[in-house]
Amino acid sequence: MTNPIHDTLFAPLAGQPRPFLTLADGTQITAGEFHDQLARYGHALRACGLEPGDRVAVQASKSPRMLALYGAAMATGIVFLPLNTAYTPDELEYFVTDCCARLLLVDPERGTALAPLAGRHGIRLESLGAGGSFDALAANQPHRIDPAARADTDLAALLYTSGTTGRSKGAMLSQRNLLSNAETLVDLWRFTEKDVLLHALPIFHTHGLFVATNVILRAGAQMVFMPKFDIDQVFEAMGRATAMMGVPTFYTRLLEDPRLSRDTVGHMRLFISGSAPLLAETHQQWSARTGHDILERYGMTETNMLTSNPYDGARRPGTVGFPLPGVSLRITDADSGRELPQGQTGMIEVKGPNVFQGYWQMPEKTAEEFRADGYFMTGDLGVIDAQGYVTIVGRAKDLIISGGYNVYPKEVELLLDEMPGLRESAVIGLPHPDLGEAVVAVLAVQGDGPDEGQIMAELAAKLARFKQPKAFIRLPELPRNTMGKVQKAELRKTYAAYFTQTAA
Ligand code: MLC
Ligand code: AMP
């Protein structure tokens, strides 16, 4: 019987006394203890009636339990669907119904609030955490588990990505998609059992879950596992860790702190950045302060990691490095699909074992984003230089990346446009010193229109906090081109210095 992800990533933990997770308070969880928990959770998933291929949706705080649940889903062949803890019940409802989740796991304190939603759709609801109902169910289960047989092409996880128009799409990631990428990254970034990763990212996205965790599991290494990015805890952990993976906001926040020095990073061998553009200036300041060149890489939910700056060799500021071994990357004319010569800017298209299987129950959407020869259109615009380094120069998709979280303007605009007194809206991303880009709503208002407090109250009921505008700009009319299309590029240009000139 084989189960590639369980056999390769999780089975080697069983019975091992070596440390696997160190928590912020210093508590250590050994590899063996972690695997025991994974096994008990796996039995509990089965006791809830789930079978291989069924979906378990989880909206729970970051904890070793949540990570063990990921392992349990892999062992039992149950498809893992982690959800941002910031999502409102409205947002959650879409995901769990779209994927026909059999089971929804939430923090114990959220159980009561989400019971009506689960009841409406006949989804079993359990709580994960100390005193939670799922933990009670798992408590007396065996601490060994026979993994379910899984093929390379079987679905391992579903991660939802918002769409530029309309509905969010569930990216289907197979066993092979995840495992092949982890194996490539371990080799490329030289992870070994001696490494200790400083893990301060959330674990409901590709970066913190698949890149960080799978790499550590594959290398037989360990993590300092923090509930979130807390600057004091990060400085403290750098004395014990060897590597950190972060979004650019981690690096800009650390740079603002006078404690950052060659000494404080003396134990570290590698700093990796991704999920959003790292300014060349941040890269250079980091090198000057710490003596380390940040290794920037590029990826997507749909594709896992695609490119990386080299471990040995120049890590070029402002670039995302070379295509990973096994990944084919080309630059095309977005309309015709024709490959462009080196040095010209166009759509980044990719192919490889890391590229997802398609969008859950959306064959037409899937077909639209793949070329006939199997290349996936990323929606990112890039250029390759004479040495082969890829630079991302923009996005063809209308997307804001705020502190590493994606916000699709359309989703916010649809809600704003429904509000009485608001004629129309354009939601844009403006440069922000902490978040990279911040969400701003430009509004064309009727009369005085609703005030910001009223708008925010309406949005808060429906939208996760990170998607809500950080500022509003009111105009009599939105600028349009001769075709009548709102000129977002013009707005971004006009207000480019909004957060740097006014207090952010
Ligand atoms: C938190 N807030 C955000 C925000 N994060 N607002 C906009 N954008 C964000 N990213 C809100 C909070 O709710 C809070 O609201 C206020 O902003 C200030 O919060 P904070 O305490 O300063 O934020 P913090 O908790 O420190 O979080 C900031 C952060 C976090 C950058 C550390 O957002 C983070 O961990 N981001 C990582 C995202 C990530 O993992 N992305 C990977 C995607 S995978 P209030 O109520 O106080 O106003 C992917 C593929 C790939 O992209 O290539 O990796
Ligand atoms: P997500 O859908 O959350 O996986 O976000 C994927 C998107 O993040 C990509 O399509 C890119 O636009 C962006 N991204 C990821 N890494 C980088 C990077 N290093 N530089 C610039 N953009 C990045």
Instruction: Please report which ligand is nearest the Cα atom of 274.
Output: 2
162 — pLDDT class (breaks 50, 70, 90): confident
- Mean pLDDT confidence for 470-497: 94
Give the per-residue pLDDT at 52.
Answer: 98
For the Cβ of 405 lying below 6 angstroms from any atom of ligand 1, the answer is yes
Greatest distance between any 2 Cα atoms in the chain: 69
- 376-379: long-range pairs with CB below 8 Å, 24+: 376/302, 376/303, 376/349, 376/350, 376/351, 377/334, 377/347, 377/349, 378/300, 378/302, 378/303, 378/306, 378/347, 378/348, 378/349, 378/350, 379/164, 379/347
3-state secondary structure 84-140: CCCCCHHHHHHHHHHCCCCEEEECHHHHHHHHHHHHHHCCEEEECCCCCHHHHHHHC
Q: What is the DSSP letter of 314?
A: -
Q: Which residues pair with residue 173 across a beta bridge?
A: 157
pLDDT at 338 over 90: yes
Q: What percent of the chain has pLDDT over 70?
A: 98
- Mean pLDDT confidence for 360-367: 96
504 — pLDDT class (breaks 50, 70, 90): very low
Query: Rounded CA gap, 179 and 202, in Å?
Result: 20
Query: Rounded CA gap, 483 and 306, in Å?
Result: 36
- Pairing between β-strand 55-59 and β-strand 124-127 as defined by DSSP bridges: unpaired
Residue 98 to residues 154, 156, 255, 324, Cα–Cα distance (Å): 19, 17, 42, 33
Q: Which ranges of 372-442 would DSSP assign to H, the alpha helix?
A: 409-417
Segments of the chain assigned to CATH 3.40.50.12780: 211-395
| Ligand 1, atom 51, residue with closest C-alpha | 275
Query: Rounded CA gap, 304 and 274, in Å?
Result: 11
Name the token pair of 48.
């809830």
**What is the distance between the terminal CA atoms of the chain, rounded to a whole angstrom?**
56
Contact 87, 113 (CB under 8 A): no
- Pairing between β-strand 376-384 and β-strand 346-351 as defined by DSSP bridges: antiparallel
Q: What is the DSSP letter of 145?
A: -
- CA-CA-CA-CA dihedral for 462, 464, 467, 468, to nearest 10: 60
Give the per-residue pLDDT at 1.
Answer: 58
| Ligand 1, atom 13, residue with closest C-alpha | 465
Query: Rounded CA gap, 246 and 282, in Å?
Result: 13
* CATH number attached to the domain at 400-503: 3.30.300.30
CB atoms within 10 A of CB 266: 11
How many C-alpha atoms does 107 have within 13 Å on its Cβ side?
11
Any residues with CB less than 8 A from the CB of 300 and at least 6 apart, and which? 161, 206, 306, 378
Give the per-residue pLDDT at 447.
Answer: 84
- Interval between CA 197 and ligand 1 midpoint (Å): 20
Q: Tell which phi-psi region holds residue 447, choosing left (phi > 0), alpha (psi between -120 and 50) or beta.
A: left
Q: For residue 160, what is the enclosing H or E element?
A: strand 155-161
Question: According to the CATH classification, is domain 4-12+30-150 in 3.40.50.980?
Answer: yes
Segments of the chain assigned to CATH 3.40.50.980: 4-12+30-150
Q: pLDDT, tens digit, for every residue of 99-111? A: 999 999 999 999 9
* SS3 call for 185: helix
**How confident is the prediction for the chain on average, in pLDDT?**
96
Instruction: Please return the burial class of 120, using the count of CB atoms within 10 Å of its CB with bins 0-12, 13-18 and 19+.
Output: exposed
Segments of the chain assigned to CATH 3.30.300.30: 400-503
For the Cβ of 382 lying below 6 angstroms from any atom of ligand 2, the answer is no
- Interval between CA 275 and ligand 2 midpoint (Å): 4
| Ligand 2, atom 8, residue with closest C-alpha | 275
- Interval between CA 399 and ligand 2 midpoint (Å): 10
Q: For residue 23, what is the enclosing H or E element?
A: strand 19-23
| Ligand 1, atom 38, residue with closest C-alpha | 404
pLDDT at 204 over 80: yes
Give the per-residue pLDDT at 165.
Answer: 65
* CATH number attached to the domain at 211-395: 3.40.50.12780
Task: Please report the sign of the dihedral spanned by the C-alpha atoms of residue 365, residue 155, residue 182, residue 351.
Answer: negative
Name residue, tokens 């650019």.
248
- Interval between CA 502 and ligand 1 midpoint (Å): 21
Residue 376 to residues 246, 371, 410, 421, Cα–Cα distance (Å): 26, 6, 22, 41
Q: What is the DSSP letter of 211?
A: I
Q: Which of 298, 327, 347, 376 to mutate to test the pocket of ligand 2 (most atoms within 8 A of CB)?
A: 298
For the Cβ of 42 lying below 6 angstroms from any atom of ligand 1, the answer is no
Q: pLDDT, tens digit, for every residue of 239-289? A: 999 999 999 999 999 999 999 999 999 999 999 999 999 999 999 999 999
Contact 479, 486 (CB under 8 A): yes
Q: For residue 322, what is the enclosing H or E element?
A: strand 322-323
